[in-house]
Structure 1
Amino acid sequence: MSIRALRTLITVHRHGSFRAAAEVERLTPAAVSQQMRNLETSWNLELFDRSQRTPQLTETGLSLVGEASAVISAYDNLAEKVSMGDELSGELILGAVPTTLTGLVPLALSQLKLQHPGIRVRIVPGLSNQLLLQLERGQLHAAVISRPDVISTSLNFSEIAKEDLVLLVSHNTEALPPKELLRSQPFIRFNRDAVVGRQIEAWLQMSEISVSDAMELEGLEAISSMVAAELGISIVPQRCVTVSDHLPLKTIPLGESRPRRVLGLVSHDGAPRTSIIKAMNAALFTAVSIGEFKMVR
C-alpha cells in the first residue's frame, strides 16, 4: 500500500472511472488499474466490481475510501503539526473569483500574513464553476467563490458575506427609479458565465425588464470604468470590502426584490492543510469586519 495509491482510490471515487482518475492524476488508465489491483492484493479485499464495463466500487471499497480520506488528511497535515511549534506554515493554493481580487482577498491576505507569516498563498483566479472543477481535481486547496445554485455534498462551503446587487451609474446620471433607468440606458452586462451574471439575468427576467445590451464584461474594474465613462449602466455586487478608486460613480438600490450573492470559502471535507484553510477563513472574516481596503501610496 502507498499514499499515492490511496490518493488515486479517492480520485476514482470522486470522478467515477479509472480513465477520469488517470487524467486528474496524470497517469495512464492501465497504471490506475494496476494501483487498484495492488491495493486489493495487499489486503485481500474486493474493492471493485469488475463485471461491468466501468468498474464500480463495492461496499468494501466505499468504506475504504472513507478511511483513506482520513489517512490522507492526517498525512498531509503532518508538516503543519510539527513545524514551527504552534505556528502555522506551508503553502495554500487559493482560487478566487475576480471581483474579490481588489478588495476582500488582498485585505484578508494582509491579515493572514500578520497572524501567520509562515503561510505562503498562491492565488489562482477564475469563475466560480471553474474553481469548483479545479478543486474537485485536486488543483486547489480552497477557493473564494460566489455560491452557485448547486454545490457538491463532498465540499464544505463556509459563508463569508452576503452582497446586495445594486445599480451602478455615473455620477451625472439623472435620479430616476432603477427599473426606468434599466429600460432607457445602454446596459453593461456582467459575464453570464459567472454566478453573479446569471443571478442578474434571472432578476431581469423575473422583473420583466428588457435591457439594451452595450457590452458584456467580466471584471468589476472594467465595468466600473465603462460606467464612469458614461457608456452605460450596470448591475454589480455591493462589495463587502470597499476600495477607494475615486471614479465618479454612484449606486442605486434595486428594491426589496434585489438579488444577493453569497461569498464563501469552499474546500473538501477533511482536506489537506485543514489548519491553514481555517486560518484563511478567519482572515476573510476579519477583512469583512474591517470593510475597507486602503491602498498604500
Structure 2
Amino acid sequence: MSIRMLRTLIAIDDHKTFSAAADAVFVTHAAVSQQMRALEENWGVQIFDRTRRTPELTPVGRALVARAREVVRGYDQILPSVTGETGVSGEVALGALPTTLTTLVPQVISLLMARHPDVHVHLNPGLTTAMISQLERGALDVALITRPETLPPDLEFLEIAEEPVQLLASLETQSDDPLELLSSHSFIRFNRDAVVGHMIETWLQKKGIRVNETMELDSLEAISSMVHANLGVAMAPRRCVRVRNPLALKRLSLGTDAPVRRLGLAHRRDNPRSRILSELHNLCLRVIESASAVNAGPDRTTPE
C-alpha cells in the first residue's frame, strides 16, 4: 500500500468512475484498476462491487475511503507541521460560486498568481451545499461560499462581504414599489438549490407574497438579461464587485429586513495551508475595497 494508492481510492470516490479518477491523478485507467486490485489483495477485503456496469464502493470500501482521507490529510500535514510554511506556493483547489466567476474570482486569482508565481489554482465552480461537502472530504482546499444557517463544526468561515438582496425590474415598468412589482409581474426565481435562493423563498413566505414564477435560473447574468427584456422581475444579491458595463435596470431596495448574503471563504480547521488561505482572504478584501471605492457615489439603475 502507498499514499499514491490511497489518493487514487479517494479520487474514485470523488469522481465516481475509474476513468475520471485516472484523469484526476494523471495515470491510465489500467493503472487505477491495478492499484485497486492490489489494495484489495493487501487488505483481504472487497472494496468494490464489480457486478455493476460501473464498479461501486462496498460498505467496507466507503469506510476505508473515510479513513484514507484522514491518512492522506495527515501525511500532507507532516512537513508543514514541523517546519511551518515559509511561502505561498503549490496547488490550490478553489471552489467558487457561479455568481462570483465573472467579477470577484478572476481578479483575486490574477492578483494571487502575479504575487506568487509558484501557486497553481484549480478552480471548481459549484453551489454552497455541494462545496461544503467537498471541503469536508478534502476534495477542495478552500471555497468561496454563501454562509448557510448552520456550518459544519470542522469548517471555518472567513467573511469577506455582505450582499443585500434587491429587486431587479425593467426600466419599462411603471411602479417603483417592489412589493407591487412582485405581485403584478412574472417572477424570475433565483435557483432554490442555492443558499441565497432559499433565503429569497423564505423571505417571500414570511411576507406572504405569492409570485407568478415563470423561470428559475442560477446565473445573475441570465437573470439580468431576462429582466432587461421585460420578461419579469427578480430578486438577487447586489454583488460586492460589479460587472463591467452592466445592463440598465431598476435596482430597488427591499427594506431593512431584506435577506443578506454573507459571502466568505470556508476551509477545514485542520488545513495546513494557513499562509495561502490568509493571502486569499486578504486579496478578496482588497479587491472588494477597490470595487467599493470605484462604485461609491450616486446610486444608478444597474443590478450589479
- Residue 144 of structure 2 contacts residue 266 of structure 2 at CA under 8 Å; is this kept in 1? yes
Secondary structure in structure 2 of the residue aligned to 1:117: coil
Q: Per-residue CA shift, 1:14-66, capped at 9, x if unaligned?
A: xxxxx99983598869948977x9xxxxxxxxxxxxxxx98xx9xxxx9xx99
Contact 2:87/2:275 (8 A) holds in 1: no
Gaps of 5+ in 1: 9-18, 38-52
Q: How much has 1:244 moved relative to structure 2?
A: 2.2
1:248 CA displacement: 1.9
Gaps of 5+ in 2: 16-20, 22-34, 46-58, 295-304
1:129-168 equivalences under 5 Å are 129-168=129-168
Query: 1:146–1:262: 8 Å Cα contact kept in structure 2?
Result: yes
- The 3 A distance-change label for structure 1 pair 77 and 117 is farther
Partner of 1:187: 187
Aligned partners of 1:164, 1:261: CA distance in 2, in Å? 6
Q: Does 1:231 align with 2:221?
A: no
Residue equivalent to 1:50: none
Whole-Å Cα distance in 2 between the matches of residues 95 and 213 of structure 1? 30
Are the equivalent residues in 2 in contact too, given 1:21–1:32 (CA < 8 A)?
A: no
**Are the aligned partners of 1:22 and 1:29 in contact in 2 as well (CA < 8 Å)?**
no
Tell me the residue number matched to 1:47. none
Partner of 1:14: none
Distance in 2 (CA, whole Å) between partners of 1:89 and 1:79 is 15
Over 3 Å off, 4+ runs: 1-5, 19-35, 65-72, 74-81
For residue 245 of structure 1, give the secondary structure of its aligned residue in structure 2. coil
- Aligned length in residues: 257
Q: Confirm or deny that 1:127 pairs with 2:127.
A: yes
| Contact 1:119/1:276 (8 A) holds in 2 | no
Instruction: Tell me the distance in 1 between the aligned counterparts of 2:114 and 2:265.
Output: 20
Task: Pick closer, same or farther for the CA change 1:293–1:228 going to 2, 3 Å.
Answer: farther
Q: Find the counterpart in structure 2 of residue 214 from structure 1.
A: 214
2:114 aligned partner: 114
Instruction: Report the CA distance shift for 1:21/1:249 in structure 2 as closer, same or farther (over 3 A).
Output: closer
Equivalent-residue separation in structure 1 for 2:199 and 2:117 (angstroms): 38
CA distance in 1, matches of 2:10, 2:225: 42
Q: Aligned partner of 2:250: which letter? A: K
Residue 77 of structure 2 is aligned to residue 73 of structure 1: yes
- What is the letter of the counterpart of residue 140 of structure 1? L
Give the equivalent residue in structure 1 for 2:92.
92
Q: Is this contact kept in 2: 1:242–1:293, CA < 8 A?
A: no
- Could you list the per-position Cα deviations for residues 134-175 of structure 1 after superposition, in whole angstroms to 9, with x for gaps in the alignment? 222222111000111222101111111111000011222223
Distance (whole Å) between structure 2 residues aligned to residue 192 and residue 248 of structure 1:
25
Output the CA distance in 1 between the equivalents of 2:148 and 2:36. Answer: 33
- CA deviations 1:169-197 (Å, max 9, x no partner) are 12222233111110001000001011011
Distance 1:70 1:209, change over 3 A: same
CA drift at 1:96: 0.3
Report the 3-state secondary structure (helix = DSSP H, G, I; strand = E; otherwise coil) of the residue aligned with 1:183: helix
Residue 300 (structure 2) aligns with: none
CA RMSD of aligned residues (A): 3.5
The whole-number CA distance in structure 1 between the counterparts of 2:182 and 2:243 is 25
For residue 13 of structure 1, what is the aligned residue in structure 2?
A: none
Q: Shift in Å at residue 87 of structure 1?
A: 4.5
For residues 193-272 of structure 1, what are the structure 2 equivalents within 5 Å? 193-272=193-272
Secondary structure of residue in 2 paired with 1:252? strand
**1:92 and 1:273 in contact (8 A); partners too:** no
Structure 1 residues 133 and 34, CA gap change in structure 2 (3 angstroms)? farther
Aligned equivalent of 2:29: none
- In the other structure, the counterpart of 1:23 is 13
**C-alpha spacing 1:190/1:32, structure 2 compared with 1 (3 Å):** farther
Displacement of 1:271 after TM fit?
Answer: 1.1
Aligned partner of residue 165 in structure 1, secondary structure:
strand
Identity of aligned pairs, percent? 40
Contact (CA 8 Å) 1:87, 1:118: kept in 2 or not? no
SS at match of 2:156: strand
Q: Distance in 1 between matches of 2:135 and 2:40?
A: 20
Identify which range, 282-291 or 167-176, moves more after superposition: 167-176
